Amino acid sequence: RTIGDRIGEAKASGNLGNTLKILGQFDEAVVCCQRHLDISREQGDKVGEARALYNIGNVYHAKGKHLSWNTAQDPGYLPQEVKDTLHKASEYYERNLSLVKELGDRAAQGRAYGNLGNTQYLLGNFSEAIAFHKERLAIAKEFGDKAAERRAYSNLGNAHIFLGRFDISAEYYRKTLQLSRQLRDQAVEAQACYSLGNTCTLLQDYEKAIEYHLRHLVIAQELGDR
């Protein structure tokens, strides 16, 4: 501010916002991210504007998740305050998405689709969540981003469960399992086995369910995860 560097001030405000979000000070975080947004617009900095929109979406997303932890309910059955917060997150992600499309930034589009999928899932809009996660999946494959691909499969599996499409969920979870082994991520492998065990139970394939739950147990023991 002293040297009149507006872009520097915008970036610093954005960083402050992100830090306050991590500290759980969501309302202060929004104020800082909004300053980042305002200055970026004033300076005609489209990349900064897109980043600020994404960051504000993240703050509302984190706030919504934080508020919903106290309610411990299935997606979709949320208090009004939580719904309003998640709708705001979605709104900012949508605005970010249209701007990064304009800028031709595919990687940023992937991140926006993933987060839109997650907010719609929490709101109980499972069909919309699936559409967004499929877009996320396509971009992850385009970039050869195995970790993002794995997350997309997992999220697609979760959303299909709530639509009662257990066989499709099982397919996505198997892909999650396959990728977690490729990535040598044992914690995620255990999670995938757990999801597959539950899905096989819903499909009444009890032999398979036992197999997956035993695998989950073995990994949990190996990791010393009580």
Q: Which domains are seen in the chain, by residue range?
A: 1-144 (1.25.40.10), 146-225 (1.25.40.10)
Residues 6+ apart with CB under 8 A from 86: 60, 61, 64, 78, 119, 122, 123
Q: How far separated are the first and last CA of the chain, in Å rounded?
A: 51
What is the pLDDT confidence band of residue 74, given thresholds at 50, 70 and 90? confident
pLDDT of residue 72 exceeding 70, the answer is no
**110 against 69, higher pLDDT:** 110
CA 57/CA 215 separation, integer angstroms: 37
What is residue 68's predicted lDDT score, i.e. its pLDDT?
Answer: 85
What tokens were used for 190? Answer: 């255990």
pTM score, two decimals? 0.93
CA angle 190, 192, 194 (to 5 degrees): 70
Per residue in 15-48, pLDDT (tens digit) is 999 999 999 999 999 999 999 999 999 999 999 9
Per residue in 40-66, pLDDT (tens digit) is 999 999 999 999 999 999 999 999 999
